[in-house]
Structure 1
Amino acid sequence: MSDTHAAFNDTTNPELEAEINAIIEELSLEEKVWMMNGHGFFEVFFGEDQKQFGRRAYEAGSGCERLGIPPLYFTDGPRGVRHSEAATSFPVSMARGATWDPDLERRIGEVIGTEARAIGATLSGAVCVNLLRHPAWGRAQETYGEDPYLLGELGAALSEGIQRHNVIATVKHFALNSVENSRFEVNVRVSERAMREVYLPHFKRIIESGCASVMSAYNKVNGDYCGHNTHLLREILKDEWGFNGFVHSDWVKGAYGPDAAQAGLDIENPDVIFFGDHLIKAVEKGEVTQEAVDDAIRRILRTQFTFARASDPRDYAKADVACTAHTDLAREVAEKSFVLLKNDGLLPLNKSEVKTIACFGKLMDLQNLGDRGSSCNTPPYAVTLKQGLEAYVGTDVKLEFFDGDDLEAARKLAASADACLIAAGYTWENEGEYIPGNEAMEGLDSKEKMESRGGDRADLRLLPSDEALISAVCEENSKTLVSIMAGSAVIMEDWKAKPEAIMMIWYPGMEGGHAFARAVFGDVNPGGKLPFGIPKRAEDLPFFDAFALEIDYDLYHGYSHLAKVNAEPAFPFGFGLSYTRFSYANARKVTSDEQIAFEIDVTNIGDRTGDEIVQGYVGFENTQIDRPAFLLKRFERVTLAPGETATIRFELTANDLAYYDETAGRWAVEDIEYSMRIGSDSVTAQDHILPFRLEEIGN
């Protein structure tokens, strides 16, 4: 990221501000309001035979032909650039959350920025960081997990990568958007403290990293739609956080009247509905101030000019889109995202020992890239699991595939194989952005009934047909790997003891099949870790109703909720196995410059090179207020050869200990003894606990 972008939300350029003020003086009210809307979307959308979102970059605000100011052009994400032309399709964001690798995510951002520029886009909606409050949430796959710290680090990295190529990154959906089916209506009731500690920190981290635009959410927060929420948009985002960029609405139902401009919504996208003439009249009547309109124009132009005038690090051409370097990165991301949950010696398979492999499940030969909502993009090809396996083994291993429903035939095939591979899980029809049938724009002029698709999951278990297949195959051959394609947690208690291996492979992107084969046969050592915890029972999770019109959010969800209710997870937050083993030893506090850091030695004690993700949690066991038992505050992914040791060092600040004092209206830090917990996941971190006090870490 350039210095210009890094400083975007810290300072303003006096010369640029003077230039913008002069433009504002010259613009008519009609021209200003024009710049506060997207334009042409409906005309283009309904003029296309397929009537699909995102088939081109759309005008999404700004633009004054008289003064030679071009509009902004928007492309969606986060799997890659969304366009009718083929583009690189990465694994979904949840898979990338499982890599715990900000440097890798920054490289993904650079690809998205490069390809966006190549197709003429200047505004990207790829940075989706809504917190996974409950695994049933349909759009879980579009975010990075359940922890605000992890979300913030990865979202900031993606934003920085995109903006390095002078594409304005949008972080979305601001805020508290964690239910899909009722997203247009639900009112989220939340205390100021829970909002500040759980649902906003990752947005603040990304804004502080330089992210220059924000998309408001559809839902309400404490009674006000997010696009009309003065507390969120003006008081917190713009005034308190010092955000200098602009806020635009989510598509179509992101605003409900011109008063949104007064609340802090700068652009209504994708087209004129409630701004336009309605906003002009509201200004003329004094219902919306001229100052609010001018502030919106100032923010739009400040952002647009800053990026448009920055030096490009390279040239951009159509040949950049889905080029070999980018598709190679898609494969690397998939390889680093796989999470090995169980392995009783089955993996990796050895081609010299395993001569017949039986492969089961319809997902084996399906291009299963994720949902088909706004995050969907079009790769030039996509390698299925079946294709990846066939390409990898060639004639060395006999592969047999069965995707039918005849369980007796499945049993017979399993019994004859040296090993079995099952692909189980979901598709875009089971989870994803909720597309409500004929109510969706794609069906407004359809005479035939269109079924709703995607949305929140009704059940956290696999489909009954998948569970029946797993049981049938494993009864005949326990040497079975169950590979799960899903966007969040799957409850496995009814069958997890049956196969010898289980691996989360997510929706693995265009190169997923190749990556899968390399992981199964050991060319790749799985190093991903769960970006959420998997419960044993749905009853152990917070309340969730996909069609709720009112819902309360508190301080607890995910691993903090499981700890509070004393529910043992099936697989804890941060969990993931490897084909090698790691030992943790010599946890210690190290003093330097009168402050302490926390160190631990991590050694690869196995016989394969592998990646370990070392996690640091702050414990609040001595708190005098209601707060989680522990929270993730640091992590590092490290590659170690057999016998190699790395010393991992974590440093903390007072901000890592703070809670939001609602009575005082500010952040505060308790004067108590805390602990630093370091380990390979949220449970094993409790094996290495280092007590400390506030004065030891300084400010």
Structure 2
Amino acid sequence: MDIEELIRKLDLSTKVRLLTGADMWSLPALPEIGLERLVMSDGPIGVRGEQWTSADPSIALPSPTALAATWDVELVRRTGRLLAQEARRKGVHVLLAPTVNLHRSPLGGRHFECFSEDPYLTGEIGAAYVEGVQEGGVGTTPKHFVANDFETDRFTVNVKVSEKALREAYLAPFERVVRAGAWGMMAAYNAVNGTTMTEHRALQRDVLKDEWGFDGFVVSDWTAARSTEATAEGGLDVAMPGPFGPWGEKLEAAVREGRVSEEVVDEQVRRVLRLAHRVGALKPASTGSSTASGTASPAALSPGAGTAGGTADGTVDASGAGRTVIDGTALAREVAARSFTLLRNEDGLLPLAGVRSVALIGSAAAEARIMGGGSAQVFPDRIVSPLDGLRARPGVEVRHALGTDPRLRLAPLTCPTRALFLDADGEVLAEHPLATTEARWVGSLPPDVDGGRLAAVELRTGYTPGVTGPHEFSVAGVGAFAVTVGGETVFDAEIALEGGDPAAAFLSPPEHRITAHLTEGVPVELSVRHPAGAFGGMAFVAFTLGHADPSPGDDALIAEAVRAAADADVAVVVASTTLEVESEGFDRTSLALPGRQDELIAKVAEANPRTVVVVNAGSPVEMPWLEEVSAVLLTWFPGQEAGDALADVLFGDAEPGGRLPTTWPVREADAPVLDVTPVDGEVAYDEGVFIGYRAWERAGRTPAFWFGHGLGYTTWSYDTIAVTERTVTVAVTNTGTRPGREIVQFYLSPPESPTGSSTGSSAGQDGGRPARALAGFDVVDAGPGQTVITTITVPERAFQVWTDAGWATVPGDHTVEAGRSVADRRLAAVVSVRA
């Protein structure tokens, strides 16, 4: 494919048109050169596609923190291949993932969507993700480039960070995914050292493209491009969404008037066409099947299934030859179990043995929280709750008690729902089935809906109450709503947007509640109508009808849970964060579990000392009851197969394979780095490279659980270590009675300074070096009594620091240590580096 010849065939207007979204999720087709629409979709736990609706289901994998907790690059690579399979099934060419920002502060609201506090682990997991997706002929866009590590004022905040911290921490994962061959990169909303990232020539052109040799395309985060010349000259290649925005006619005019060189536009087009070739969307014009709405036509398959072939250069073969179908359900279950991290296991309570009765307690036990909020949201066609998973276990009686419900919002009803698209006269333009009472069409309406005639969207469903009493209903959204229950209008008013983040209209919209008295067994019809339309071809429909049964109140619910726990062999409490705590669009205000869950856990543990707490959260929470319970199992946001994976691990069919990718504090106040709130529009990364365990060690503080911590169901000895140049070999032995999996971690410490300290003590961003940093890891499996040998090569960058003159190797005797966590290092050896 001669891309230069294709560029010569295009006039300026056409070239510029190719650089801005044709709509919310795609770039336009150019049939004259064989270019199909290039379709993008949010990830990272699934592929939502162009329709933000349950009518188009997707496999829902565990959260990125869970993926990182596996420390298993091959497993992550396999999940990438599954995501590529899902993308091809949905006609998607580019996945807007993975997120390789860092866990700088545990208060980061989007913490769950990032991998780790450690740049090396983040880079290795991110690279495996990229490689897996792109092996399937689908592009990736690692994001958000760069220093987008919190949500508060994310559209406008300026991050002040030293060059050293950028290079050694925040840029490091991006550099790694570029080396892995990423085909795209997403520019962040925020500014870095005074320059908005979409305009940041020094980082986007000089570092990313020139220094690192990145040959992919740079796409803006949605609406992040806000200028014309500065973004074009600053290294941005595609401005999304479209067709409106700062480019289009404005960019064409800037070129014609000499304010932007046409060579800049040609380079942008070159990168887009290179991407199209890689994903199979650029074909000879004589055979191209492009239309205004056409994409490659993968077979219509159920979620998690599908085939499409590939060629050596990464393009898609629509025949489907050459690729093995991946069972998405099975892989989601495997990844979840591998990610579950056993933090505490007193007296070997887990795995459960000889247990006949389980008290399963918590709102998240019956309605699992499987994902975080925001653009990471997808709609699976099934969710296995912990209650489902444990009740499927033969020979075990499971009694569920709610205990307390920490959710501030009512959940949508999970029942067959009809979405009616209405014109101004109330005539039905189209009807679509939904699995829940949640309406979301962002960017595009269903193809059979005439956006020009659309005046309203109405959800209708039938509901049969299981209990008599005052039922709560809610409508969450922005704008005018009319709600009926049993034919009676119970709400007809406007709901106003709160706060300054426009994304909140669909990420966390305001909610209005209504109470209606219903009778057990008597069905009622429910509906909610909302004015809607398409403006300039763009649609925005996002609202939910929520519901909750009558409640006796938390005091009675907690008392019921305590009674259930006292009567059972084992109590399992599923404690969770909520959508109001972990989501895109805002940061956390506390690390405490929401509601009265801490009180519930303490009382259950008092009633039954054999209490297991399952923490269903994407990021750290405080655990004031830690010493009172027998076991703590962290399940992160575990994806759609949550319940089956939980049963597998609790009863020992699978080992909890996870290790912490981030340090967990005892108390929020103990965390060395917390700041996520801008002051005068800025957040200063004054801690420099000292984030995560590096900061904890420097501060001399002890967390609840260190980076890398995690228990299994067997024991291990670390036997020998040997070093040859930069290659380190370690022998470990499974000293337990059952097969197990160990994650061998390697940490490198720099030579001691003349003052005897490797960490340094001077103030400011660039004072000193961390005491140690992760420099390698490996996952090993062994049977009882079996010894296995693992070998890693310490990367050259681990021996380097950033200076005013660039990267410099630090000579001297570096210490490499192997162990089970950053605080549990078992073996040590010296790696000598010459000047």
TM-score, L = length of structure 1? 0.87
Alignment of 1:414-433 (within 5 A): 414-433=565-584
Alignment of 1:203-282 (within 5 A): 203-271=174-242, 272-282=244-254
Partner of 2:608: 477
CA contact 1:481–1:503 (8 Å) conserved in 2: yes
1:396 and 1:411 map into 2 onto residues whose CA distance is 19
Partner of 2:300: 318
Secondary structure of the equivalent of 1:130? Answer: coil
Partner of 2:799: 657
CA 1:668/1:676 → structure 2, altered by over 3 Å: closer, same or farther? same
How many Å apart are 1:679 and its aligned residue? 0.3
Spell out, residue by residue over 1:107-130, the C-alpha distance to the aligned partner (whole angstroms, 9 max, x if none): 001011111111111111121111
CA 1:223/1:268 → structure 2, altered by over 3 Å: closer, same or farther? same
CA 1:461/1:254 → structure 2, altered by over 3 Å: closer, same or farther? farther
Partner of 2:500: none
Spell out, residue by residue over 1:84-122, the C-alpha distance to the aligned partner (whole angstroms, 9 max, x if none): 411111001111110000100110010111111111111
CA contact 2:591–2:668 (8 Å) conserved in 1: yes
* 1:162 maps onto 2:133 in alignment: yes
* 1:70 maps onto 2:36 in alignment: yes
2:798 and 2:730 map into 1 onto residues whose CA distance is 19
Partner of 1:641: 783
Secondary structure of the equivalent of 1:462? Answer: coil
1:236 and 1:529 map into 2 onto residues whose CA distance is 33
Amino acid at match of 1:432: S
Out of 524, 531, 535, the residue aligned to residue 654 of structure 2 is 524
Amino acid at match of 2:380: P
CA 1:619/1:399 → structure 2, altered by over 3 Å: closer, same or farther? same
Secondary structure of the equivalent of 1:341? Answer: strand
CA 1:392/1:178 → structure 2, altered by over 3 Å: closer, same or farther? same
CA contact 1:623–1:672 (8 Å) conserved in 2: no
Which sits farther off after the overlay, 61-70 or 129-138? 61-70
CA contact 2:727–2:794 (8 Å) conserved in 1: yes
How many Å apart are 1:245 and its aligned residue? 1.0
2:655 and 2:369 map into 1 onto residues whose CA distance is 23
Partner of 2:694: 560
Out of 620, 637, 661, the residue aligned to residue 489 of structure 1 is 620
2:44 and 2:119 map into 1 onto residues whose CA distance is 18
Secondary structure of the equivalent of 1:214? Answer: strand
2:592 and 2:193 map into 1 onto residues whose CA distance is 32
Partner of 2:635: 505
* 1:21 maps onto 2:23 in alignment: no
Secondary structure of the equivalent of 1:488? Answer: coil
* 1:401 maps onto 2:401 in alignment: yes
Spell out, residue by residue over 1:648-673, the C-alpha distance to the aligned partner (whole angstroms, 9 max, x if none): 222224322101112x1x10012222
1:623 and 1:484 map into 2 onto residues whose CA distance is 42
1:671 and 1:504 map into 2 onto residues whose CA distance is 41
How many Å apart are 1:408 and its aligned residue? 2.7
CA 1:398/1:551 → structure 2, altered by over 3 Å: closer, same or farther? closer
Alignment of 1:26-65 (within 5 A): 26-41=9-24, 58-59=25-26, 61=27, 63-65=29-31
Partner of 1:673: 813
CA contact 2:562–2:604 (8 Å) conserved in 1: yes
Secondary structure of the equivalent of 2:168? Answer: helix
1:430 and 1:547 map into 2 onto residues whose CA distance is 19
CA 1:306/1:525 → structure 2, altered by over 3 Å: closer, same or farther? closer
2:196 and 2:745 map into 1 onto residues whose CA distance is 37
* 1:185 maps onto 2:156 in alignment: yes
Which sits farther off after the overlay, 319-328 or 138-147? 319-328
CA contact 1:228–1:255 (8 Å) conserved in 2: no
Out of 338, 341, 347, the residue aligned to residue 339 of structure 1 is 341
Secondary structure of the equivalent of 1:178? Answer: coil
* 1:361 maps onto 2:369 in alignment: no
Which sits farther off after the overlay, 509-518 or 246-255? 246-255
Partner of 2:772: 630
Partner of 1:298: 270
How many Å apart are 1:464 and its aligned residue? 4.4
CA 1:310/1:636 → structure 2, altered by over 3 Å: closer, same or farther? farther
Task: Specify which structure has the higher proportion of strand.
Answer: 2
Partner of 2:524: none
Secondary structure of the equivalent of 1:431? Answer: coil
Alignment of 1:365-384 (within 5 A): 365-384=366-385
CA contact 2:142–2:184 (8 Å) conserved in 1: yes
Question: Pairwise CA RMSD of aligned residues?
Answer: 2.0
1:495 and 1:254 map into 2 onto residues whose CA distance is 47
1:423 and 1:547 map into 2 onto residues whose CA distance is 34
2:281 and 2:246 map into 1 onto residues whose CA distance is 32
CA contact 1:246–1:303 (8 Å) conserved in 2: yes
CA contact 1:334–1:511 (8 Å) conserved in 2: yes
1:486 and 1:141 map into 2 onto residues whose CA distance is 8
How many Å apart are 1:320 and its aligned residue? 5.5
Spell out, residue by residue over 1:555-614, the C-alpha distance to the aligned partner (whole angstroms, 9 max, x if none): 11100000111111210100000111111122232x4xxx35322211111111111100
Amino acid at match of 2:303: V
Spell out, residue by residue over 1:510-531, the C-alpha distance to the aligned partner (whole angstroms, 9 max, x if none): 1110000111111111121000
Partner of 1:690: 829
TM-score, L = length of structure 2? 0.73
Gaps of 5+ in 1: 1-15, 42-57, 435-454
How many Å apart are 1:40 and its aligned residue? 2.3
Amino acid at match of 2:744: V
Secondary structure of the equivalent of 1:680? Answer: strand
Secondary structure of the equivalent of 1:673? Answer: strand
2:817 and 2:28 map into 1 onto residues whose CA distance is 49
Spell out, residue by residue over 1:264-303, the C-alpha distance to the aligned partner (whole angstroms, 9 max, x if none): 1000011121111111122223222212111101111122
CA 1:310/1:618 → structure 2, altered by over 3 Å: closer, same or farther? farther
2:375 and 2:750 map into 1 onto residues whose CA distance is 39
2:138 and 2:351 map into 1 onto residues whose CA distance is 44
How many Å apart are 1:632 and its aligned residue? 0.4
How many Å apart are 1:628 and its aligned residue? 0.8
CA 1:27/1:691 → structure 2, altered by over 3 Å: closer, same or farther? same
Q: Specify the structure having the higher radius of gyration (Cα).
A: 2
Amino acid at match of 1:178: D
CA 1:634/1:140 → structure 2, altered by over 3 Å: closer, same or farther? same
CA 1:346/1:365 → structure 2, altered by over 3 Å: closer, same or farther? farther
Q: Which runs of 4+ in 1 moved over 6 A?
A: none
* 1:468 maps onto 2:599 in alignment: yes
CA 1:62/1:460 → structure 2, altered by over 3 Å: closer, same or farther? same
Out of 738, 750, 759, the residue aligned to residue 608 of structure 1 is 738
Spell out, residue by residue over 1:181-206, the C-alpha distance to the aligned partner (whole angstroms, 9 max, x if none): 22111111111111000001111111
Spell out, residue by residue over 1:385-408, the C-alpha distance to the aligned partner (whole angstroms, 9 max, x if none): 111111124x53343433442333
Task: Specify which structure has the higher proportion of helix.
Answer: 1
Amino acid at match of 1:357: V
Amino acid at match of 1:586: T
How many Å apart are 1:689 and its aligned residue? 1.8
